[in-house]
Amino acid sequence: MLFRAVVFLAALTPLAAQDLASRAQTKLDKLGDGEYRSHAVVEFPPEEINAWAARKVPEIVPEGLRSGRVELGNGTVIASALVDFAKIRRTTNPLVARLIEGERPLKVFLRLQSSGGRCTVYLTRVELSGIVLEGGVLDFLVQNFFTTLFPDSKINQPFEIGFEVDRIEVTPQAVRVTLR
């Protein structure tokens, strides 16, 4: 009996993750379409964020990134994944290719500050294979990998959120989006 229950729960897990991803996508679509009323608060719990990311990240980065996970804190986000930079960004420089090839654990530490329809995402720390990256090495990775994949991204720079969003707050329980 216990075995059947475990098998049943294991079979439901992908369905539950799909449902969570769909729930997050519905909320994002409603935000984009302006379907929420003024001063509404839309919450994205970590389970929804992780399920949505598991579905969407492969569409954006089809190779070289797997096992992504987001942990929420008070105003902070830790994103982790296994990354093979050589598969994400092909390079013709053989020296650079050798330095970046192979799957490695990556952790990115962010702090988010938001109010008045603006947001700033601060990159506070990066760990690659347990090694803390900072200074010039971190700048190189951001400029040569992140911004080439996402040229419109703003790191350590304020930007307009849009969609009538007043602020975004991060707590361990959820990312809360508050409308104007």
What's the mean per-residue pLDDT of the chain?
85
Quickly tell me which residue has 């096992």 as its tokens.
Answer: 67
Q: Rounded CA gap, 139 and 77, in Å?
A: 19
What type of residue is 93?
N
Six token digits for residue 93:
């420089």
Q: pLDDT per residue over 91-122, tens digit each?
A: 667 776 677 778 999 999 999 999 999 999 99
Contact 95, 115 (CB under 8 A): no
Per-residue pLDDT tens digits of the chain, which is 180 residues long: 444 444 444 444 454 567 999 999 999 999 999 999 999 999 999 999 999 999 998 888 888 888 999 999 999 999 999 988 888 776 667 776 677 778 999 999 999 999 999 999 998 889 989 989 888 878 887 887 778 777 888 888 999 999 999 999 999 999 999 999
